[in-house]
A and B are shown apart, each in its own frame.
Chain A
């Protein structure tokens, strides 16, 4: 193995990261005419959401519940996308919604969710708390102080008792110690007795429906530890005479973004080699995505979302439920939930939005570099409009040529720049390989952006617009669309829906 730097010579093999496209999104991606006319009409960039897909994803989660005979609610984590169309489409199903702000709560109520299908989580201001209590939604309580605040609101405004879930954190294990990042949310389990004291003091104002956690981790073991801890917490509730009914395990079930594992492996190996100087750089300015070279040894940690995941979404939930609980006789968590008669609540965001949309940006300029390096491609979009990179997700855009598929001249390497007058406005720091050279007027379609990559980070910096959003659906062989805000589950021309 020669292993010495080889910075010279021809462009190496292109490293593609082809997006995973399920049939519905694949069909939309192929509707070049529709997508071009959308950008012609509304300007670049444009986000397209696909409401029918979220209903299909919901059904996948439901089928995991059914296979374990579990009841309970699937609460869509609204924060992952502001779209009205997606929310209203879900309102027409039996799903719930998890809201994290006053605006999101208003949006959910206005979309047709009744209070029984809404939970309020996250940091809450007094107005949010009041509307939640007034409407009768379930409140996920962060700490004893919030419980006091809620009870005071209920009493002073003569409201009905509010259903609460007690959000817990800091779970401990016996035997192997499973470390977890510290969370700013939730009450540490070792303070549970104090919290339950507060629940009992406020028995006239709150109804403890169960306990909750949300861990920001991809690790199944950590979540299994937390769920096991919740079962112990619920037993403590029952021993004090309370009658809790549910565990909310939060979200974080993940999405697999890429079609092929081999491409992801080849890319990450390539990036490692590039960081160690064993192949030409694969990024703008030699950025290492968290990796660095220290005297020939790789240091740091790859700060990228694991873009190809063998187990994600509903399958991840299934795996979590199959984990054995060591402190409870090694029985699987699903069996324990069932036989303890607990409902299971989940709060998927990204996973429910898998395959639910794409983002379009027009190519404004294609500039050749003198040294024959990657082309410099400027898009009519800001990096924050297509925020995949903000979540560490690396995935190739699809080129939608203006004049139909051209002859194509083979693969090219490009750098994708945004439209801000700012050095760091890069759509991605990665050198992207495209199967053909893009031309001004072509569209680049970024697949699977509905989870966190559409509006979570978008700004109106430099008086540039934030992207418009439309909802699209299939009508026979054709794709129809309307503005996101105009979409309702009864929108005309949606046929028999």
Chain B
């Protein structure tokens, strides 16, 4: 397929049947709408393009900055679209909790502003909540900006009313699915698709999924937060159900490992919520039915999210020569030397003094003549074997003598005959009045 612009590749995503052996539903065919295959990586490509497109010509003329309140995929798509048209993009957010997305946005040239947190000494009469301030700055700035306003912009919904929804019907050979399951973020995709499906067949049942209240699933709002969305209309959904973060990850794993669909946690939540909702209905069902859920984006951006919640999934084999393998007794036996003796030792035998602190701390103040190998780097070096000749005596120094004792014990175990830890560390050194220098 040949295109003149990458934006032409937005939409017309595949609808893929999930293997019944995976979901276990006997009478319901479950289909995934793979919005993750949009060119910028998510379902938001449609909305971003739909909202920005009619305003771009004027924005280019005025050199406006594109501005949106977004913590993720909308920002990503808008950053790309803005960049393609030579415009700047700024994302304002208080919800950006996934570091990879932040980094990716910066890479794409976006500017990110994080809104301040709630006041600790709260003044309940204050009216300067961060969002009000945001809107005030937008209208007062006088500087040109293109605010796409995804939570209220009808063109967000329209992208799905004219695109995603009809595509689903077409790929089901003109039939409307019996159920449509969608996670609710801006409510744009669920509202637009639902409207398109109901126009064809009002009997479609729509399940809206929200995050459990204290949980965080990227791209999904909680039951209270959806009320703040202008596009949200409770009548869109026949039922609203909530999904927990661990359930979303469980669903994501099934998609990733069993279905070959590399969707992210939002997709996992949709899959999990869909199967949970359909299981009871499946038993009652006599004839074949169909259900569709949306795979919103890809898994790769959420590795730190997974690492935080399910570190077991990213487990790695243990490495050798790690200070973590040492017993407390071994660390206790680590050769160490007090400040006064260490000063004499340095004067007479000239051991190599290794300062394990960060380069910033080392640059600020250190023992004269020492070399700086920051602990992380030292750990890497030691993993490969002894980094010093056995004929070179070594004095290890860290802030309080704890890390240096561990490494002294480790190097001793690895066969070094004369490595010692500075007891009490650089702090004891300072407290004893021994000299520290800046170079």
Closest B-chain residue to A306, C-beta based?
B118
A1 with B131: in contact, given A217-B119, A289-B124, A304-B124 (CB under 8 Å)?
Answer: no
CB atoms of B358 and A335 under 8 A apart: yes
Question: Does B139 sit at the interface, judged by CB under 8 A?
Answer: no
B126 cross-chain contacts in A, Cβ below 8 A: 303
Q: Other than A177-B112, A272-B224, give 10 A-B pairs with Cβ distance below 8 A.
A: A177-B111, A177-B114, A179-B130, A180-B116, A301-B132, A338-B399, A340-B364, A341-B399, A341-B426, A390-B124
Known contacts A301-B129, A392-B122; is-contact A218 B117 (Cβ 8 Å): yes
Q: Judge whether A297 and B229 touch: CB under 8 Å.
A: yes
The closest CB in chain B to the CB of A278 belongs to B234
Cβ of A238 and Cβ of B114 under 8 Å apart?
no
Give chain A nearest CB distance to B436 CB in angstroms: 8
Q: Which residue of B lies closest to A266 (CB)?
A: B213
Taking a contact as CB atoms under 8 Å apart, the answer to whether A222 and B124 are in contact is no
Given the known A-B contacts A297-B228, A329-B359, A341-B430, are A176 and B400 also in contact in the complex, defined by CB atoms under 8 Å? no
Interface presence of B138 (CB below 8 A): no
Asked if B344 is an interface residue, CB under 8 A from chain A, the answer is no
B128 / chain A contacts, CB cutoff of 8 Å: 181
Q: Map CB proximity to A onto B120-150 as digits: 1 under 8 Å, 0 otherwise.
A: 1110111011111000000000000000000
The yes or no answer to B308 lying at the interface (CB within 8 A) is no
A366, CB-defined interface residue at 8 Å: no
Interface SS of A by simple majority: loop
**B49 vs chain A, min Cβ distance (A):** 25
Interface residues of B in 210-243 (CB under 8 A from A): 213-214, 223-224, 227-230, 232-235, 237-240
B199 interface contact, C-beta 8 A: no
The interface residues of chain A lying within 8 Å CB-to-CB of B116 are: 178-181, 217, 219, 222
- Expressed in whole angstroms, the Cα–Cα distance for A452 and B427 within the complex equals 38
A299 at the interface (CB under 8 A from B): yes
Confirm or deny: B8 has a beta carbon within 8 angstroms of a beta carbon on chain A: no
CB-based contact A178/B114 at 8 Å: yes
Q: Contact: B120 with A216, CB < 8 Å?
A: yes
CB under 8 Å from chain B, chain A span 236-289: 238-239, 251-252, 254, 261, 265, 268-269, 272, 276, 289
Whether, in the assembled complex, B171 has its beta carbon less than 8 Å from a beta carbon of chain A, the answer is: no
A81 CB → nearest B CB, Å:
14
Question: Is the CB of A310 closer than 8 A to any CB of chain B?
Answer: yes
Q: Is the CB of A181 within 8 A of B228?
A: no
How far is A328 from B229 in the complex, measured between Cα atoms in Å? 39
Q: A3 contacts which chain B residues (CB < 8 A)?
A: 234-235
Give bound CA distance, A482 to B232, whole Å.
Answer: 58
| A297 touching B224 in the complex, CB below 8 Å, given contacts A339-B358, A340-B361, A341-B427 | no
A480 within 8 A of partner (CB): no
Pick from B224, B400, B426: contact of A269, CB under 8 Å: B224
Interface residues of A in 287-306 (CB under 8 A from B): 289-290, 296-301, 303-306
Q: Are A336 and B360 in contact (CB under 8 A)?
A: yes
Q: What are 21 of the A-B contact pairs (CB < 8 Å)?
A: A175-B102, A176-B113, A216-B120, A217-B116, A217-B120, A218-B119, A218-B120, A221-B117, A222-B116, A238-B364, A269-B213, A272-B224, A296-B233, A300-B129, A300-B132, A329-B358, A339-B399, A340-B364, A350-B120, A389-B124, A390-B124
Question: Would you call B84 an interface residue if the criterion is a C-beta within 8 Å of the partner chain's C-beta atoms?
Answer: no
Render A175-202 as a binary contact track against B, CB cut-off 8 A, 1 for contact: 1111111000000000000000000000
B227-269 residues at the A interface, CB under 8 angstroms: 227-230, 232-235, 237-240
Q: Is B29 an interface residue (CB 8 A)?
A: no
Judge if A494 is at the interface, Cβ distance under 8 Å. Answer: no
From B121, B227, B237, B240, contact of A298 by CB (8 A): B227
Nearest CB of B to A456, in Å:
10
A1 to chain B, nearest CB (A): 5
Q: Which residues of A contact B115 (CB under 8 A)?
A: 179
Contact A339 B227 (CB under 8 A): no
Contact of A276 among B129, B227, B230, B358 (CB under 8 A): B227
User: A252–B120 contact, CB under 8 A?
Assistant: yes
Interface 1/0s, chain B 67-99, versus A by CB < 8 A?
A: 000000000000000000000000000001000
A391 an interface residue at 8 Å Cβ cutoff? yes
Interface: B37 (CB within 8 A): no
Q: Which of A38-89 contact B (CB under 8 A)?
A: 69, 71
CB distance from A143 to the nearest CB of B (A): 21
- Beta-carbon nearest neighbor of B239 in chain A: A1
Give residues in A with beta carbon < 8 Å to B: 1, 3, 69, 71, 175-181, 216-222, 231, 235, 238-239, 251-252, 254, 261, 265, 268-269, 272, 276, 289-290, 296-301, 303-306, 310, 328-329, 331, 335-336, 338-341, 350, 389-392, 452
Residue ID in chain B nearest A272 by CB atoms: B224
CB-CB under 8 A from B233, the residues of chain A are: 296
Q: Known: A1-B238, A391-B121. Contact between A238 and B365, CB under 8 A?
A: yes
State how many angstroms separate the Cβ of B307 from the closest Cβ of chain A.
Answer: 14
CA gap between A305 and B126 in the complex, in Å: 13
Partner of B118, one of A180, A217, A276, A328: A217
User: Is residue B374 within 8 Å, beta carbon to beta carbon, of the partner chain?
Assistant: yes
| Interface residue B438 (Cβ < 8 Å from any Cβ of A) | yes
Inter-chain contact B122/A303, CB cutoff 8 Å:
yes
- Determine the chain A residues whose CB is within 8 A of the CB of B232 once the complex forms: 297
The 8 closest A-B pairs by CB, nearest first: A219-B117, A301-B129, A339-B357, A3-B234, A339-B361, A252-B120, A298-B227, A392-B122
Min CB–CB distance A408 → chain B (angstroms): 30
A179-B116, A218-B120, A265-B214 known; A1+B102 contact, CB < 8 A: no
Give the shortest distance, in Å, between A217 (CB) and chain B (any CB): 4
Closest to B97 in A: A221
The closest CB in chain A to the CB of B234 belongs to A3
What is the bound-complex CA distance between A390 and B400, given in angstroms?
45
- B421 vs chain A, min Cβ distance (A): 15
In the complex, the answer to whether B122 meets A305 with C-beta atoms within 8 Å is yes
**Chain B residues whose CB sits within 8 angstroms of the CB of A304 once the complex forms:** 122, 124
B181: interface (CB < 8 Å):
no
User: Which of chain A's residues has its CB closest to B226's CB?
Assistant: A298
Q: Which A residues lie within 8 Å of B358 (CB)?
A: 328-329, 331, 335-336, 339
Task: Given A178-B114, A235-B360, verify A329-B131 contact (CB < 8 Å).
Answer: no
Q: Which residue of A lies closest to B212 (CB)?
A: A265
Given contacts A297-B230, A303-B124, A452-B121, contact A176 B374 (CB under 8 A): no
B379 at the interface (CB under 8 A from A): no
Q: How far is the CB of A91 from chain B (nearest CB, A)?
A: 25
Q: How far is the CB of A422 from chain B (nearest CB, A)?
A: 17
CA distance A340 to B362 in the complex (A): 8
- Closest-CB distance, A478 to chain B (whole angstroms): 36
Q: A301, B113: Cβ atoms under 8 Å?
A: no
B48 lies within 8 A of chain A by Cβ: no
A272 and B119: CB pair below 8 A? Answer: no
Q: Are A176's CB and B114's CB within 8 A? A: yes
Which among A219, A235, A268, A329 has the greatest number of chain B C-beta atoms within 10 A? A219
